[in-house]
Amino acid sequence: MISRLLSSLFALVSPKCCACCGCRLGIDERVFCTSCDLAMPRRRDVDDPLNNSTARLFWGVADVERCAAWIDYEAHTKHADAIYALKYGDRPDIAFAFGKVIAAELQSTGFFDGIDCIVPLPLHPKRQRERGYNQSREFALGLCSVLHIELCADAVQRRRNTKSQASLTHGERSTNVKGAFGVVSPEALMGKHVLLVDDIVTTGATLSECIRAINKDTDARVSVLTIGRAKH
């Protein structure tokens, strides 16, 4: 009761705004307003996590099991603004909120059944120092807070500080990230079903390279979850 009253008073003094539309949040709203949450362009990948358009990005390229992207990502939309903010706007709380929302929504679908640990796609240390955080790790932490699954954030490292994939072609993306990842603690993943998570998947080149590193150095099974799927 006291905690709720203090939260209400704080909201009056320092109101928070929706990460998507910028409107003032209600007392029971955290990062997204109810309207924007309901309007998220949700995908149906979890209906068939073994055979959907996201899963097919990895066919013949990397050994994966289940795959899902939660929403369709399209530039210059409210939802894209929120994802831009979590990556470049010093808003790790948005990534964490996405994790909590997605975990709660997908928990009953069976997508997380049998998952032993969650591995966020690693950033190179230089880029993480510049940004101040790894948005994929914050997303993973949000998932873990609901699912109570182990976080394995340090088992895989990014060995090369690759340039941004955004302006590259499909072929250039694969070349750019080749050999970029390595497993530094294989014992942490051995015998486990790993959920590899990232914010956005476009061609799947970066995730595929990370999966290949895990497949090479461990016997772990790998599934993939991202916040969004971008068109390419």
Query: Mean pLDDT, the chain, as a whole number?
Result: 89
How far apart (Å, rounded) are the C-alpha atoms in residues 157 and 223? 18
Share of the chain above pLDDT 90, in %: 75
8 A C-beta contact, residue 223 and residue 69: no
Tell me phi and psi for residue 115, to 5 degrees. Answer: -75, 130
8 A C-beta contact, residue 82 and residue 94: yes
- Triad 14, 133, 186: Cα angle to 5°: 145
Q: What pLDDT was estimated at residue 19?
A: 85
Q: Which domains does the chain have, with CATH numbers?
A: 1-39 (no CATH), 41-230 (3.40.50.2020)
* Burial category of 4 from C-beta neighbours within 10 Å (exposed 0-12, middle 13-18, buried 19 and up): exposed
8 A C-beta contact, residue 170 and residue 204: no
Q: What pLDDT was estimated at residue 15?
A: 61
Residues 6+ away with beta carbon under 8 Å from 35: 21, 23
Q: Is the pLDDT of residue 174 over 80?
A: no
3-state secondary structure of 158: strand
Report which of 148, 92, 149 is spatially closest to residue 118, judged by C-alpha positions: 149
Segment 165-178 shows an average pLDDT of 67
Helices 78-88, 92-106: crossing angle, 10 deg rounding? 120
How far apart (Å, rounded) are the C-alpha atoms in residues 49 and 53? 9
> pLDDT band at 13, cuts 50/70/90?
very low
**pTM of the complete model:** 0.88
> pLDDT band at 3, cuts 50/70/90?
very low
DSSP run (H or E) holding 200: strand 193-201
